[in-house]
């Protein structure tokens, strides 16, 4: 099992709050990248993460998109998996029981194609062992509104969040898409509807063309771009949302190093998620946490939470609270 020198005894309080959920540290394994951590456990202890977000679960089983589904791109990766998954019934019967022995806190992720579907699936996630929050992948197409993405519209986003809040007691996190002109009204709509936090950002829409075959690389034509290529877009989305929100932000998009994570924290994020970088370096959570702690120490801060918003004028007190 790998460990990094100097990460043995944290002298800094690394805990953060996401609504009523308290995470032992601000690092979250992003949805769709980590399963429950078992695959990574062969080379790193998944308990390095403060929480693991599960792959999104839908009401029905889904086969996902045709192949190819992934394409490496400069400093990034395109994916169009298409929410392949077993559906909520199978998940509850065959996968949820194993959550009792999860290596760290679990955030369940729900995807749906109607408001009712989100609410029904989320309600059944409430109360599962070690599940401390529910993340809503509101970047799906809304079949009740001609396939428009929920997170492209403040009202649709609010409708999903409100319907889920009515059915669950756990904190609810809305994961928003960056594929909008202005993230602020969407983030505000989620907050007004009762969201306990927002995750920023989901993958950025993109595509690649195979010029030898003269056709799109992905069978789905377009996909979601992740990796360092999207980091500046993500940091800006966090910065913009932090201007108007009072709920915590989980920042994500291309984080590979402690310095990358600090960008998000200082721009206003309370926690950060790491996705694609796990594929390149499974030890990434150990490195990132060590470097965040070092930075807090260097600044003579006693908590990691105090790093939040250090670069942002909305956090004028420089103490991590507004």
Applying CB under 8 A, the residues found at the interface with another protein are 2, 32-35, 39-40, 42-44, 55, 60-64, 66-77, 79, 81, 84-87, 89-90, 226-229, 254, 276-283
Query: What residues contact 127, with CB distance under 8 A and at least 6 apart?
Result: 169, 170
Cα(3)–Cα(45) distance, rounded to whole angstroms? 9
State in angstroms the smallest separation of the CB of 199 from another protein: 18
- Residue (39 or 182) nearer to another protein, CB: 39
Cis peptide before 201 (omega within 30 of 0): yes
- Residue (248 or 285) nearer to another protein, CB: 285
The residue from 132, 140, 193, 266 that is catalytic is 140
- Residue (108 or 277) nearer to another protein, CB: 277
Cα(64)–Cα(81) distance, rounded to whole angstroms? 6
State in angstroms the smallest separation of the CB of 303 from another protein: 31
Do 57 and 110 meet the contact criterion of CB atoms below 8 Å apart? yes
Cα(242)–Cα(235) distance, rounded to whole angstroms? 11
Give 210's strand partners. 215
Catalytic site residue 140?
yes
- Residue (64 or 232) nearer to another protein, CB: 64
State in angstroms the smallest separation of the CB of 42 from another protein: 5
Cα(244)–Cα(184) distance, rounded to whole angstroms? 7
- The secondary structure of residue 233, as a DSSP letter, is H
State in angstroms the smallest separation of the CB of 101 from another protein: 17
- The secondary structure of residue 56, as a DSSP letter, is P
- Residue (42 or 298) nearer to another protein, CB: 42
For the residues of 238-304, what is the DSSP string, one character each? HHHHHHH--S-EEEESS--SHHHHHHHHHHT-SEEEE-THHHH-TTHHHHHHHHHHHHHHHTT-SBG
State in angstroms the smallest separation of the CB of 266 from another protein: 23
Q: Which sequence positions are flagged as catalytic?
A: 140
């Amino acid at each position: 099992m790998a460990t990094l020198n100097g990460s043995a005894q944290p002298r800094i309080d690394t805990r953060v709050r996401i609504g009523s959920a308290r995470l032992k540290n601000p690092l979250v394994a992003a949805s769709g990248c980590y399963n429950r951590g078992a695959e990574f456990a062969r080379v790193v202890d998944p308990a390095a993460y403060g929480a693991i977000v599960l792959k999104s679960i839908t009401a029905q089983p889904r086969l996902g998109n045709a192949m190819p589904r992934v394409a490496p791109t400069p400093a990034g990766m395109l994916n169009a998996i298409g929410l392949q998954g077993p559906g909520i019934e199978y998940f509850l019967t065959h996968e949820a029981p194993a959550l009792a022995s999860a290596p760290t806190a679990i955030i369940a992720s729900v995807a749906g194609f109607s408001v009712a579907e989100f609410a029904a699936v989320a309600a059944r996630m409430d109360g599962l062992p070690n599940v401390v929050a529910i993340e809503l992948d509101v970047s799906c197409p809304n079949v009740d509104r001609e396939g428009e993405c929920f997170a492209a519209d403040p009202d649709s986003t609010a409708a999903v969040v409100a319907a889920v809040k009515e059915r669950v007691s756990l904190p609810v996190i809305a994961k928003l898409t960056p594929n909008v002109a202005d993230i602020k009204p969407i983030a505000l709509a989620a907050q007004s509807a009762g969201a306990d936090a927002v995750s920023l950002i989901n993958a950025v829409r993109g595509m690649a063309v195979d010029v030898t075959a003269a056709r799109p690389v992905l069978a789905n034509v377009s996909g979601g771009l992740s990796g360092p290529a999207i980091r500046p877009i993500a940091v800006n989305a966090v910065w913009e949302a932090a201007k108007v929100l009072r709920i915590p932000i989980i920042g994500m998009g291309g984080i590979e190093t402690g310095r990358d994570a600090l960008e998000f924290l200082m721009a206003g994020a309370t926690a950060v998620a790491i996705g694609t970088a796990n594929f390149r370096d499974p030890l990434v959570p150990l490195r990132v946490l060590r470097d965040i702690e070092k930075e807090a120490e260097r600044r003579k801060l006693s908590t990691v939470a105090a790093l939040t918003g250090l670069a942002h004028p909305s956090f004028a007190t420089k103490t991590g609270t507004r």
